[in-house]
Amino acid sequence: MKPIIRVNSLKKRFGATTVLENVDVDFPEGLITAVVGQSGTGKSVLFKSIIGLLKPDAGQVWYRDKEITGADPDELLEIRRHIGYSFQNAALFDSMNVQENLEFPLREAMRIKDHAELRRRVAEILEWIDLPGIENKTPSELSGGMRKRVGVARSLMTRPDVLLFDEPTTGLDPVLAETINNLVIRVNKELGVTCVIITHDIPAAFRISDKIAFLDKGIIIAEGTPKEVAASGHPLVRDFIRTSFNELEV
């Protein structure tokens, strides 16, 4: 499968701390890829480097045939229109209601000003995420699961080719977490969006992903289908998977 995003020999340091060290990983177009690993291994830094929020010290990130790491501001803005980012805590604007939050990327990135078109698109996406009629609610009036779904909806407003999910189920109970994991599948299958997920939920990653990349101490130590990664001989990967599934059984 042809990759839509390629990461080559990526390096990132913060002072004396190396966070990413020669990361090489591809994200196949049209599939769901999970980036897993222990806390503090550079997963979020990898995401921020992919979307251009952080500039790596060395290496390249490519979106199709365009190099993100070498893009000028105008080129980067154009590339970002194709890559959505669903933040861990949804990152909704507290001072805006749901309608205004969902309109924001359309107004700012797509320069859409027509009120009827904005209302139509917001109503359409809310219907799609099974939350119709909440346009006038503020983020504080939404449950945790609803905020997560609205956050995903906002990242879909520009109709991206790729959607990056940063810990989409953090802080949710198992039932709500399953709802969000199923939403990721819907985004991929129904909308045709390539999905890349950072997650600590190893059982869910193995259930919904087509590919898994295991990041540890700034490098990819295992990569492949869930079956291939489960068969990895790397001791850290084996221990991490065994512990995750044992906790699920308990």
Average pLDDT, integer, range 206-235: 92
Angle at 248 between CA 243 and CA 250, to 5 degrees: 95
66-87 CB burial, b ≥16 within 10 A, e <16: eebbebeeeebeebbebbbbbb
Does residue 117 have a pLDDT over 80?
yes
Whole-number Å distance between alpha carbons of 207 and 56: 32
Q: Which tens digit of pLDDT belongs to each residue from 127-137? A: 999 999 999 99
Domains present along the chain, CATH in parentheses: 3-82+160-249 (3.40.50.300), 94-159 (no CATH)
Tell me the whole-structure pTM to 2 decimals: 0.91
**Helical (H) or strand (E) element with 3:** strand 3-14
Q: Which tens digit of pLDDT belongs to each residue from 65-102? A: 899 998 888 888 888 889 999 887 778 899 999 999 99
Helices (H), the chain: 43-50, 73-80, 98-108, 115-128, 144-156, 174-191, 202-208, 226-230, 235-249
Whole-number Å distance between alpha carbons of 168 and 2: 25
Lowest-confidence pick of 57-61, 89-93, 138-142, 245-249? 245-249
Average pLDDT, integer, range 194-216: 92
- pLDDT value of residue 247: 56
- pLDDT value of residue 250: 40
Average pLDDT, integer, range 123-149: 94
Q: Which tens digit of pLDDT belongs to each residue from 153-190? A: 999 999 999 999 999 888 888 888 899 999 999 999 99
Q: Which tens digit of pLDDT belongs to each residue from 6-53? A: 999 999 999 989 999 999 999 999 999 999 988 778 899 999 999 988
Whole-number Å distance between alpha carbons of 174 and 192: 26
Proportion of the chain above pLDDT 90, given as a percent: 62
**146: nearest Cα among 132, 156, 158:** 132
Tally helices (H) and strands (E) across the chain: 9, 10
Number of C-beta neighbours around residue 13 at 10 A: 14
* Cβ atoms of residues 1 and 53 within 8 Å: no
**164: nearest Cα among 135, 189, 187:** 187
Higher pLDDT, 110 or 221: 221
